[in-house]
Amino acid sequence: MQPSEPSSDKGRADEAPDPVPDAAGSSSAKAGARPRRRVGRPRVARERAEARRKILDAGEALFAENGFDATPTSAVAERAGVTSALIFYYFKTKRGLLQALIDERPFLPRFAELVAGVEDDDRRALLRTAGMRLFELAHRSGPMVRIVVREVLQKRDLREHWEGVLERAVEALAQRMAAADGPPITAGRATEAARLFFNAIAFQALFGPDMEAERAVNETIDLVLAAC
């Protein structure tokens, strides 16, 4: 049974009070006047969305810093500035919060979208543009990638979900590589090259932050094209 939302100091304070009956038992509103419009509901919706976002932010940061198992729900609540009960209301369990992060804040689908938007037809130019975008995206998505490496890959159901998303992102790049101008390349070889390219760029963006993006991308392109 879904728990009711924890009580809040706002509650009905965010709504207009009902008309107060007068001594005769009738509403204090004038006869024939339009009913008073309740106010505050849009504000309540915004506040709830903001609270949920803060919980996701806190979970992402703490799971990345300390690990899922080592992070109690109370720590997430404290970082987010909410009660633990509110976390359970939105996500049911701490595992539910982890699943929400994976579902709502994945960077791999965004990479597939970025690849689809690359207009370069030359294979090297394609990889350079895609590589720069991937490097920046992986660098900005560091906490989520650390969660994936530390947590998701160790939990079978989440790992299978993540691997499916990864393969779709790799395949999006592989299809563009196979169709790009350059020496002929088979679909299988393009997939292998795209996976190598993706892993190399993501690794350098996450664990080699001192390396310049352009240098990392160009060196990886040379390696991948040579392997093709």
Predicted confidence (pLDDT) per residue in 61-83, tens digit:
999 999 999 999 999 999 999 99
Task: Provide the 10 A C-beta neighbour count for residue 140.
Answer: 13
Phi/psi for 83 (5° steps) reads -90, 155
**Residue 115 pLDDT class (50, 70, 90 cuts):** confident
Residues contacting residue 158 through CB under 8 Å, at least 6 positions apart: 98, 99, 102, 151, 152
**pLDDT score for 55:** 97
> How far are the Cα atoms of 20, 28, 31, 36, 221 from residue 24, in angstroms, in the given order?
11, 10, 13, 20, 84
Q: Could you read off the pLDDT of 149-201 as tens digits, one per residue?
A: 777 777 777 778 778 878 888 998 999 999 999 999 999 999 999 999 988 88
Q: Is 15 left (phi over 0), alpha (psi -120 to 50) or beta?
A: beta
Residue pair 199/227 in contact by the 8 Å Cβ criterion: no
**pLDDT score for 188:** 93
**pLDDT score for 204:** 83
Q: What is the pTM of this model?
A: 0.61
**Residue 26 pLDDT class (50, 70, 90 cuts):** very low
Domains of the chain: 42-104 (1.10.10.60), 108-227 (1.10.357)
End-to-end CA distance of the chain, in Å?
55
Residues contacting residue 31 through CB under 8 Å, at least 6 positions apart: none
Beta bridge partners of 27: 21
Asked if residue 10 has pLDDT above 80, the reply is no
- CA Rg, the chain, in Å? 25
Q: CA 134 to CA 202: how far, in whole Å?
A: 7
Q: Which long-range contacts (CB under 8 A, 24 or more apart) does 94-97 make?
A: 94/68, 97/55, 97/56, 97/59
Residue pair 188/154 in contact by the 8 Å Cβ criterion: no
Which residue type sits at 225?
L
Q: CA 163 to CA 36: how far, in whole Å?
A: 54
